[in-house]
Amino acid sequence: MNMTILFAHLFVPFAVFTTSLLHFVDASDNTEIKTTTPPHQGCLQMEKDGVDVVKYPKLIKLPSGVSVAETQTDCDSNTGLAGSYPCKDVNLLSHLSNAQLNNQGADIDANDLWGWTDTASGREFVIIGLISSTAYVEITDPVNPVYLGELAFPGESSMWADIKVYKNYAYIGSESPGHGIQILDLSANLLSASPGTSFTETSRYTGGNLGSSHNVFINEDSGYGYALGSNTCSGGLHIFNLFDDPENPSFVGCYSDEGYTHDVQCITYDGPDTRYTGKEICFACNESNVAIIDVTDNTLISKKTYGSSGLTYTHQGWLTEDRQFFVFGDELDEVFKFQKTTTFVMDVRDLQEIPQIQKHKSALRAIDHNLYIRDGIIYQANYRAGLRILKANDYTQANLEEIAYFDIYPSSDSPSFNGAWSVYPFFPSKVVAVSAIETGLFLFRVTAEDVVNTNDCADSPLNVAAGGGSLGCDFVSSNTEYCSSGGDSHCPKTCGTCAAYGCLDSEVDFVYEGSIYSCSQFDGLAPGLIDIYCAIQEVADTCRASCGVCDL
């Protein structure tokens, strides 16, 4: 049935209510090839903390009293708990155990994760690493995630794997010798997959003699990929080209002047230091320092050390969206210095002259691991402390404030290598995914006001009925006085009222395909009919509460 006819038939209209090309060093110029991965002190410590690197048993048993089959559970603001998990302003949507993330049902450890959204359909997927495979989970309905299957590693198991996505392809590296980088065409494999599929890799990259690697990073803007901590390039930046042929990357060269690089974020520079605009700039965590590298010219711009030699391990970090600060963590300072969880902030507004690094200490002693920044909010996976979410009051002084958390390892916050490995906060739905070493995949909805009140809440794409039905949020953006007469609910992004209306219905009448409607017409409708109307994206973005857009 024609959607417009159905919509008009059930929603009876009523009267108007007035209210540059990169130049990398060639392989021949810099091709030191090592046969083994350089020592990784942070991971060696992890091994000492309980991992048998030959047998890969569980690090420890599950925390007492914690189940691995929880379903949707809201965080109780009175008790500070979601079931048995300590929490603040984070709701558990669903949880899959490690045994639910492989075709054998084996209780094996997990590691890294990343996400992919099919832009054509809006369907969302998590890719999570295990010790011998990667698992693929559709989370379009995050309360009822669907495990689709796994891609087995080509060789032996490894505790460490890393995953990134470029266009519709996943790229998987591992410390497993000879692994290279597995490539999987996500569109071809996931969109029609049945649960329990054993996927076959689309291709595998081993250019430049790449075998093992500790981490993988991809600059999605430039199409350049990086293998870090590999058996090549002295463990530094092993650079490969994806944009020419994503299925068959080509080796570009190395940057190895700074030795072993644990992790990196590389961008096509668009920050405040205009001397480097448009260049491929990498912010590299190099065990004892952060190095800023101009990969376009293959030169070191600057590097900053901190702390006491041998007592630090610069692990991973992420740039603020304005490119003014680099926020990073150290994997060993809590272990060796007996200090509280510390987040470091480096002022990178001038890439050549870096001021003293500032630091923020939390109230806990758990080890920080991976962090990412979205809409000005810092999402951290801090091992035994679980998911921690911070906002910045003043980056120049590292004045950070914890605004929300979900502790997936409730029995202890001590500085040991258990619990949350990584976090992925970049889904359009704002579902936050966390991988846990012993307990699998967690999906969360953050309800903290600072997270809900972000600039990417949706304006209604429909015109208001007032004024003859020709005016919409684009008009309100240049006539903001209308924000005080109904525009605040219809255009929350434009009016800066996301906190108040980002998850609520528009309070004004609107025009859909020539007829006038109101969100109040949802009242009393059967759920099946509501689903039909809310399948119209313009209506869902207008009647946000009725369509439950913040409950997805």
**196 dihedral zone (left: phi>0; alpha: psi -120 to 50; beta):** left
Q: Which residues span the domain enclosing 129?
A: 93-201
Mean pLDDT for 67-78 is 75
Q: Tokens representing 202?
A: 């689309």
Mean pLDDT of 333-344: 84
Average pLDDT, the chain: 86
* Distance, CA of 34 to CA of 231 (rounded, Å): 5
Q: Where does the pLDDT of residue 63 fall: very low under 50, low under 70, confident under 90, or very high at 90 and above?
A: very low
Q: Where is 255: in which H helix or E strand? A: strand 250-255
Confirm whether 118 is domain-assigned.
yes
Amino acid of residue 448:
A
Tell me which of 354 and 452 has the higher pLDDT. Answer: 354
Classify residue 535: in a domain, yes or no. Answer: yes
Over residues 468-487, mean pLDDT:
85
Q: Are 249 and 207 in contact (CB under 8 A)?
A: yes
Distance separating alpha carbons of residues 550 and 552, to the nearest angstrom: 6
Domain boundary among 201, 222, 240: 201
**pLDDT given for residue 37 in this prediction:** 43
Q: What are phi and psi for residue 172, nearest 5 degrees? A: -120, 120
Q: Is the pLDDT of residue 474 over 80?
A: yes
Question: What's the pLDDT score for residue 44?
Answer: 56
What confidence score (pLDDT) does residue 59 get?
32
Convert the pLDDT of each residue in 145-168 to its tens digit.
Answer: 999 999 999 999 999 999 999 999
Q: Is the pLDDT of residue 307 over 90?
A: no
Residue indicated by tokens 């070191």: 300
Confidence of residue 308 (pLDDT cuts 50, 70, 90): low
Average the pLDDT over 437-465 and give the result.
86
- Say if residues 286 and 314 touch (Cβ distance below 8 Å): yes
User: Is 125 within the bounds of a domain?
Assistant: yes
**Is residue 426 one of the residues assigned to a domain?**
no
pLDDT of residue 453: 62
Q: What is the average per-residue pLDDT within 463-479? A: 87
Alpha-carbon gap, residue 216 to 161, rounded angstroms: 9
Per-residue pLDDT, 43: 55
HSE of 551, CA atoms in CB hemisphere, 13 A: 11
Q: Is the pLDDT of residue 5 over 80?
A: no
Is it the case that residue 254 has pLDDT exceeding 60? yes
> What's the start-to-end Cα distance of the chain, in Å?
26
The pairing of strands 370-374 and 377-381 is antiparallel
Separation of alpha carbons 53 and 263, rounded Å: 21
| C-alpha to C-alpha distance for 353 and 151, rounded to whole angstroms | 45
71 or 393, greater pLDDT: 393
Distance of CA 200 to the CA centre of its chain: 25
The Cα–Cα gap between 413 and 46 comes to: 16
* Residue 369 covered by a domain: no
Averaged pLDDT, 337-365: 92
pLDDT (0 to 100) of residue 456: 58
Q: Which has the closest alpha carbon to 504: 539, 473, 547, 461?
A: 547
Element (DSSP H or E) covering residue 500: helix 498-501
| Average pLDDT score over residue span 286-314 | 86
pTM higher than the cut 0.85: no
pLDDT at position 468, please?
A: 83
Query: What is the pLDDT, as a whole number, of residue 141?
Result: 94
Distance CA 40, CA 315 (A): 10
Report whether pLDDT(319) > 60: yes
The lowest-confidence range among 108-112, 344-348, 398-402, 465-469 is: 465-469
Q: d(Cα 421, Cα 343) in Å, to the nearest integer?
A: 16
pLDDT top residue among 511 and 470: 511
Domain count, the chain: 2
254 touches 237 (CB < 8 A)? yes
Of 1, 17, 49, 552, residue with least CA distance to 331: 49
| Residues whose CB is less than 8 angstroms from the CB of residue 264 and which lie 6 or more positions away in sequence, other chains included | 215, 217, 226, 228, 237, 282, 283, 284, 285
In the chain, % of residues over pLDDT 70: 85
- CA dihedral over 274, 275, 279, 282, signed as positive or negative: negative
Asked, for residue 220, whether it belongs to a domain, the answer is: no
Q: What share of the chain is helix, strand, coil (3-state, %, to 5)?
A: 15, 35, 50
Judged against a pLDDT cut of 80, whether residue 51 lies above it is answered with: no
| Number of Cβ within a 10 Å radius of residue 337 | 15
Which token pair is 466? 């007032």
Lowest average pLDDT, out of 47-61, 90-104, 164-178, 377-391, goes to 47-61
Question: In this predicted model, which residue has the larger pLDDT, 15 or 441?
Answer: 441
Q: 197-199 and 146-152: which strand pairing?
A: parallel
DSSP codes, 265-283: EEEE--SS-GGGTTSEEEE
- Of 171, 201, 231, which one is at a domain's C-terminal end? 201
Give the tens place of pLDDT for each residue, 79-131: 999 999 999 999 999 999 999 999 999 999 999 999 999 999 999 999 999 99
Residue 362 within any structural domain of the chain: no
Query: Tokens 């500032």 map to which residue?
Result: 358
**Do 97 and 197 have their domain in common?**
yes
d(CA 443, CA 143): 8
pLDDT at residue 309, as a whole number: 54
Structure confidence at residue 70 (pLDDT): 62
Mapping DSSP to helix (H, G, I), strand (E, B) and coil, where does residue 425 land?
coil
Per the DSSP assignment, residues forming a β-bridge with 140 are none
In the predicted structure, residue 440 carries a pLDDT above the cut 90? yes
Domain assignment present for 215? no
Cα torsion through 197, 202, 206, 208, rounded to 10: -150
Identify the domain boundary among 153, 184, 201.
201
